[in-house]
Amino acid sequence: MFPSVLSTDSVPLNMSGGNRVTEFILLSFPCPREMQILLFGVFSLTYVLTLMGNGSIIWAVRLDHQLHTPMYILLAHFSFLEICYVNTTVPNMLANFLSETKTISFTACFLQFYFFFSTGITEPFFLSLMAFDRYLAICQPLHYPTIMTGRFCIKLVLFCWVTGFLCFPLPIYFMTQLPFCGPNVIDHFICDPGPLLALTCVHSPKLELSFSIISSLAIFLTFPFILGSYTLVFRAVLRVPSAAGRKKAFSTCGSHLTVVSLFFGTVLVMYITPTSGHITTTQKIVTLFYSVFTPLVNPLIYSLRNKEMKTALKKVQLAMKILPNK
């Protein structure tokens, strides 16, 4: 999700005549063939469930007019973002499990790099926007309908998408211009900037610094904003005289905070983990958690504690049963 500085256990590449690297080897999770097939089955199931869960939320918001409100529109876009996110890594990882060579072309590697980190860095922007929406709805209820209009909501959504996808093009372009003269082995299941920079012929501290600055800004600007928004929200909720009103507000905000905790918790683990060559497995597991399992559980978190969403999902289930009979 965010660039990490990793060292790789590399295998020398025969670079006769000054040839440059044209493909990389993603080691993924080295293990016996039987275990590779088992992992393929597990992650295939996880992938399908993730697409179904997030897709159901999108369809529920689209079909149920009662959910055509800013909060659920943002949730639908967030679910679409999660679908995009898993599609940047899981299909290639599944193919890697069954592959003998485990190679990925130079172009495909950097395309994965761009889309993986662009969707990843878009996520805290959406989480900030969702926190801002809850702040307005609970702390400024009289002004909420006039401030968070449908048009303004869409503008904020577009801002999140555009900002996220404009963060990395230049650094990635400059990185592709560096000479990669081997070795070409990446001890990871994604094309991460840390291992990639370790494979270049020249040291580029400015490029490393640019990746660190971008990811740090995304984390340390959005996290305090989210924390501050929910602090104000909880102060306002505690002043609500109705117990039922407090329960509903806490339930809605609790779902958001659970997702926020999962996201920033794993990202902060990446930041505080030492960057020695012996923790490659730890880095891969943490990356696997926030890139594969978090998108799987997010739909459950949002739907299980939300009556409106559960009702809408039942309508989607009913519609799916009716369609085959037509």
- For residue 273, the SS3 value is coil
* Helices 280-288, 243-272: inter-axial angle, 10-degree rounding: 150
Who contacts 116 (Cβ-Cβ below 8 Å, separation ≥6)? 1, 85, 88, 89, 190, 191, 291
The structure tokens listed for 325 are 């009979």
Quick one: pLDDT at residue 129? 95
Quick one: pLDDT at residue 199? 87
Quick one: pLDDT at residue 276? 46
Question: What's the DSSP call for residue 186?
Answer: E
- Our measurement of the distance from residue 88's CA atom to the centroid of its chain's CA atoms, rounded to an integer in Å, reads 10
- For residue 42, the SS3 value is helix
Total-model pTM: 0.86
Residue 50, phi then psi, degrees to nearest 5: -65, -45
Query: What is d(CA 4, CA 12) in angstroms, rounded to the nearest whole number?
Result: 23
- Paired with 26 in beta bridges are 186
CB atoms inside a 10 Å sphere around CB 228: 12
Residue 298's region, left for phi above 0, alpha for psi from -120 to 50, else beta, is alpha
Query: What is d(CA 211, CA 268) in angstroms, rounded to the nearest whole number?
Result: 16
Domain boundaries, the chain: 26-311
Contact 304, 59 (CB under 8 A): no
What is the distance in angstroms between the CA of the first residue and the CA of the last residue of the chain? 43
Pairing of strands 23-26, 185-186: parallel
- Our measurement of the distance from residue 203's CA atom to the centroid of its chain's CA atoms, rounded to an integer in Å, reads 29
Quick one: pLDDT at residue 227? 92
- Our measurement of the distance from residue 132's CA atom to the centroid of its chain's CA atoms, rounded to an integer in Å, reads 20
Quick one: pLDDT at residue 18? 42
Picking from 47, 50, 54, the residue whose alpha carbon sits closest to that of residue 91 is 47
Quick one: pLDDT at residue 265? 85
Residue 26, phi then psi, degrees to nearest 5: -95, 110
**326 residues of the chain, pLDDT tens digit each:** 665 544 433 333 333 334 577 889 998 888 888 999 999 999 999 999 999 999 989 988 988 888 889 999 999 999 999 999 999 999 999 999 998 889 999 999 999 999 999 999 999 999 999 999 999 988 888 999 999 998 999 999 999 999 999 999 999 999 999 888 778 898 889 998 888 888 888 888 888 889 889 988 988 899 999 999 999 988 888 887 777 667 766 777 788 888 898 888 888 777 665 544 445 677 888 888 888 999 999 888 887 667 777 777 777 676 666 655 55
Pairing of strands 103-105, 23-26: antiparallel
User: Burial, 51: exposed, middle or buried (Cβ in 10 Å; 0-12, 13-18, 19+)?
Assistant: middle
Query: What is d(CA 145, CA 73) in angstroms, rounded to the nearest whole number?
Result: 15
Does residue 141 have a cis peptide bond before it, meaning omega lies within 30 degrees of 0?
no
Pick 26-311's CATH classification: 1.10.287.70, 1.20.1070.10, 3.40.50.720, 1.10.4080.10.
1.20.1070.10
Contact 106, 24 (CB under 8 A): yes
- Paired with 24 in beta bridges are 104
Who contacts 190 (Cβ-Cβ below 8 Å, separation ≥6)? 26, 89, 93, 112, 113, 116, 287, 291
Quick one: pLDDT at residue 11? 37
Task: Please write the tens of the pLDDT for every residue from 291-323.
Answer: 899 999 988 888 766 777 777 777 767 666 665
